[in-house]
Chains A and B, each alone.
Chain A
Amino acid sequence: MVTPGTSERTAARLLRRPLEKPWMPRLAFAPPNIAPRGDTLVVIFLRGAADGLNMVVPHGERAYYRLRPTLGIPPPDDTKTKPEERTIDLDGFFGFHPSFQPLLDAWHDGSLAVIHACGGPDESRSHFKAMELMERGVADERGPASGWIGRHLASLDTGNSSPLRAVAMGTRTQRSLSGSVPVSALRSIADFHLGGNQHLLDQMRSTLDLLYEGDDLGKDTLSIMNTMQSMDPMIYKPAHSALYPETELGMALKQTAMLIKAEVGLEVSAIDVGGWDTHFAQGSTTGQMPNLIEELALGLSAFYADMHEHMDSLIVVSMSEFGRRVSENGSLGTDHGHGSMMMLMGGNVAGGRIHGQWPGLDEGQRIGPGDLAVTTDYRDVLSEVCVKRLNNPVVSEIFPEYQPRMLNVVRK
């Protein structure tokens, strides 16, 4: 039953690298730039339009308290409320929601920065449209359908061919990642474990060893898989006794940390956190949204502690499609607004500062139906991150038809 010659043909197949034909449209996309990779980028997208005004509170604004009589977070010096329910003052005007307490370490270390009144130009106040445009990195419906991170990866050849160059944490691949570079969706590192008992597993691995002997890509993949095989988020010991919360975000950040430490070629990790669409019973210092804020803070602070030694080559971005109406609505919640808030965390962030120009919340300062204005385009922030921290100078490729302003939110 042996058919001599088949293995040679197989080898010949493996060596085949077909040439691109000039008449095929845009199939081969040659990266215009070749450079060593920069920081590992972790993007956390707060889905549903997070209420930036109750996360980083403008406690120096009288209008804030006038428009949010029940939802407003009490000012730092409010003696009528318990100290643990008051805004944590940062600079005399802004302060953290009390549930952001765990982020104070990073803030005081200068590794956490806030850009307030930040967002995109779209004023549809539609989650879907705003998310789509923001993830594509475009101002309106025209322009490339791929995502800004996808274009960043495609336009920068870092010589990294790892199948884990870009990872979507969770089941859905974020739109921002779409483009010509393959993206792995990773619910759990355990998904990459081959199932079955140890014995079966060894046999499967030996099978792959045998079959991919002499194939570089196969061998690279095997070694990554072997690395992952020994990684188990359930028994992982974070550094500095960091404690990740038992939430999807906590799990995603923990696995991101594991992949970074395992050096498997991770350049981008994209994480979604849902639940921020708080039209109803939002809660001020306790309840729905404070829980989300706390989850975010606990996740980020655990990651910050665990990755302490890696912070110089890390940049974490949190963003949301838009913010929420300044005045609370009739059902103890907030409706769709406009300006939002971004946070950056990392060793080279110009941290411990609130960046951006504050437009104010008074009549005449708010826009549309009464929303925080956008004074910093989110693409300004991301462009600077791409150029200074990701080693990618071709911002025109990532955010076409956009001229970014540099705000010095990160250091080169």
Chain B
Amino acid sequence: MPISRREFLKLSALVTTSAALSGCGAIYRRLTGSMSVTEWSPMDEHDFTVLNRLTFGARPDERARFLEVGLKPWIEEQLDIQSIDDLDCSLRLAPFRSLEMEANELEAISNQLFENYDRESLPAELRLASLIRQVYSRRQLYEVMVGFWNDHLNIFTEKGNCFYLKTVDDRRVVRTHALGSFRELILASAHSPAMLVYLDNHVNHKGAPNENYARELMELHTLGVNGGYSQADVMELARCLTGWTVKDHFWLGDFEFNADLHDPGVKYVLGMEISDSGINEAEQVIDTLSTHPSTARFISSKLAWRFIADDPPEELIQKGARAFLDTEGDIKSVLRVILLDGVDFVQPKYKRPSDFVISALRMLHAQTDGRGPDESLRGMGQSLFGCPTPDGYPDNSAAWQGNLMPRWNFAFRLVRGEIEGTQIDMEHLLAYVPDDDLTVRFDALATLLLGVPIAEPFRSGLMELITSGGTNEEEMLQILAAGILVSPSFQWK
């Protein structure tokens, strides 16, 4: 519910005095519009890389906490998401009322009766809310994992009714199980109308089978392409999944198992005999798939790729896979192994567009309602929930290295305050830095964005270039900040 400016001011007067002590800091910041900035200092390159892999771009307070407690306790704090106060982010999400709605409500608000459906508003809310969470949530590792599973279980909101069903999928499937049990995650996804529509299982009927979901469930969601299944397994699993569909009358948009559309009889999947048991058939197969050694290896590999390197060591993959099997797919347990055992093997990865945009916003303490960044991401080819193919946006460095211009454009527009609904307060950001020496401020900005001052000869080169120009101090600072954002180093995390 929006609060008027007057109410804002009244409230802010009430909380000002006690804000720092009472945990109302978030409300205070929300009301006053500026965020607290803590001091920062240079950081070891490896630590900086690791921390930026675990977050969407570390802020100074996250750096400080990491250096204070160390990697392992920092990860444990982040994995215990309920213990992390996230009021600031929640307040920012308050206007997005569709996030908590059920499918039939979402359908109703998009249905314009005599006009066509409004297919734009709900996906836009979901994108903006996701961007805001990535920027402002203090549960950073959780948000990184939400992003990981949204790629792994990719759904394209432009396909059929996914435009309203994905909102439910994001909440019930991905956000509910992101750090839970892999089996529960896949089971929830299989019951998710958005997934069933996206991969055509809602039209997988007795006598008219559609193999799309059955294939991707094995190829992309669990076993992996060389995970040891055959075309016959795909066809038999598709038979098990006949009748898994979406309600189109009462409780419209909810999952439904329609026994009339289910193909009866015994099925054989992965060498198992599945007796004729309706909805239990596919659930039984999902049990097997989600605890299969191929799945363990596949998930461990993808996590290692995301968090450690494009080319992670085989030993680490095996260790992660073992943890997966030992814990029957407990996501936190696998993640601990990948992160703690993998930390020494961390290699730079090229930022995907969303990493680039979100890290710039986070590190510069930008105030954003998400609109401009959302538009920019579209121009960079990584609109959230906009990947048409079921394998999700690629997670390898090479895939994203071709398109620099929109990044440069974003950087220059960001520092000049030209991104819609987005501001940076450079003076507030640099409050701790002496303002009489531009070089000191430049080094501070680079230390904030890159972990260390920018390397020579670029450092002196840039300083010389900018100071010789005769622009005013504000503009010089803008160019220096933009220069760091466009630098090759900032394109890597």
Which A residues form the contact surface with B (CB < 8 A)? 1-4, 6-7, 9-10, 13-14, 16-28, 127-128, 132, 141-142, 144-147, 161, 163, 171-173, 175, 178-180, 182-185, 191-192, 194-196, 199-200, 202-204, 206-208, 210-212, 215, 217-218, 221, 224-225
Do the beta carbons of B408 and A208 come within 8 Å of each other?
Answer: yes
Question: Which chain A residues border B302 with CB–CB below 8 Å?
Answer: 24
Do the beta carbons of A195 and B412 come within 8 Å of each other?
Answer: yes
Do the beta carbons of A225 and B408 come within 8 Å of each other?
Answer: yes
Do the beta carbons of B489 and A204 come within 8 Å of each other?
Answer: no
Do the beta carbons of A200 and B389 come within 8 Å of each other?
Answer: no
Contact A18:B311 (CB < 8 A) given known A26-B391, A127-B116: yes
Q: Which 7 A-B pairs have the closest CB atoms?
A: A18-B310, A6-B455, A145-B388, A7-B455, A207-B483, A221-B404, A25-B225
Do the beta carbons of B399 and A204 come within 8 Å of each other?
Answer: no
Q: Is B486 part of the contact surface with A, judged by Cβ < 8 Å?
A: yes
Do the beta carbons of B226 and A23 come within 8 Å of each other?
Answer: yes
Interface size classification for chain B: 35 or more
Of the residues B298, B388, B453, contact of A1 by C-beta under 8 Å: B453
Q: How far is the CA of A171 from the CA of B453 in the complex (A)?
A: 37
Do the beta carbons of A217 and B455 come within 8 Å of each other?
Answer: no
Q: Is B315 part of the contact surface with A, judged by Cβ < 8 Å?
A: no
Q: Restricting to B391-416, which residues have a CB under 8 Å from any CB of A?
A: 391, 394-399, 401-406, 408-409, 412-413, 416
Question: Which chain B residues border A147 with CB–CB below 8 Å?
Answer: 388
Do the beta carbons of B402 and A217 come within 8 Å of each other?
Answer: yes
Kindly report which residue of chain A lies nearest to residue B439, judged by CB atoms: A1
Of the residues A10, A141, A144, A218, contact of B389 by C-beta under 8 Å: A144
Once A and B bind, how many residue pairs between them come within 8 Å at the CB atom? Answer: 186
Distance (whole angstroms) from the CB of A107 to the closest CB of chain B: 35
Distance (whole angstroms) from the CB of B379 to the closest CB of chain A: 5
Q: How far is the CA of A18 from the CA of B399 in the complex (A)?
A: 10
A–B pairs, 8, beta carbons within 8 Å = A2-B456, A10-B489, A18-B309, A19-B311, A145-B388, A145-B390, A175-B388, A196-B416
Q: How far is the CA of A21 from the CA of B297 in the complex (A)?
A: 13
Distance (whole angstroms) from the CB of B252 to the closest CB of chain A: 17
Do the beta carbons of B119 and A200 come within 8 Å of each other?
Answer: no
Q: How far is the CA of A24 from the CA of B381 in the complex (A)?
A: 21
Distance (whole angstroms) from the CB of B41 to the closest CB of chain A: 11
Question: Which chain A residues border B45 with CB–CB below 8 Å?
Answer: 6, 9
Kindly report which residue of chain A lies nearest to residue B197, judged by CB atoms: A141
Contact A22:B226 (CB < 8 A) given known A13-B492, A145-B390: yes
Which B residues form the contact surface with A (CB < 8 A)? 42, 45, 116-117, 119, 156, 158-160, 200, 203, 210, 212, 219-220, 224-226, 297-298, 301-302, 305, 309-311, 347-348, 375, 378-381, 383, 388-391, 394-399, 401-406, 408-409, 412-413, 416, 418, 443, 452-453, 455-459, 461-462, 465-466, 469-471, 475, 479, 482-483, 486-489, 492
Is chain A's binding surface mostly helix, strand, loop or mixed? Answer: loop
Do the beta carbons of A184 and B379 come within 8 Å of each other?
Answer: yes
Question: Which chain B residues border A225 with CB–CB below 8 Å?
Answer: 405, 408
Contact A184:B406 (CB < 8 A) given known A6-B45, A175-B158, A199-B469: yes
Question: Which chain B residues border A175 with CB–CB below 8 Å?
Answer: 158, 388
Contact A171:B375 (CB < 8 A) given known A2-B459, A25-B391, A195-B413: yes
Q: How far is the CA of A26 from the CA of B224 in the complex (A)?
A: 11
Q: How far is the CA of A224 from the CA of B405 in the complex (A)?
A: 9
Question: Which chain A residues border B390 with CB–CB below 8 Å?
Answer: 145
Contact A128:B486 (CB < 8 A) given known A3-B455, A175-B158: no
Q: How far is the CA of A144 from the CA of B391 in the complex (A)?
A: 12
Distance (whole angstroms) from the CB of B375 to the closest CB of chain A: 7
Of the residues B348, B398, B483, contact of A13 by C-beta under 8 Å: B348
Do the beta carbons of A191 and B409 come within 8 Å of each other?
Answer: yes
Do the beta carbons of B416 and A145 come within 8 Å of each other?
Answer: no
Question: Which chain B residues border A20 with CB–CB below 8 Å?
Answer: 396, 398
Do the beta carbons of B488 and A212 come within 8 Å of each other?
Answer: yes
Do the beta carbons of B310 and A210 come within 8 Å of each other?
Answer: no
Do the beta carbons of A203 and B396 come within 8 Å of each other?
Answer: no
Q: List 10 additional A-B contacts (Cβ < 8 Å) besides A19-B310, A24-B302, A200-B479.
A: A13-B492, A21-B301, A128-B119, A161-B402, A182-B402, A182-B403, A195-B412, A195-B413, A203-B466, A210-B465
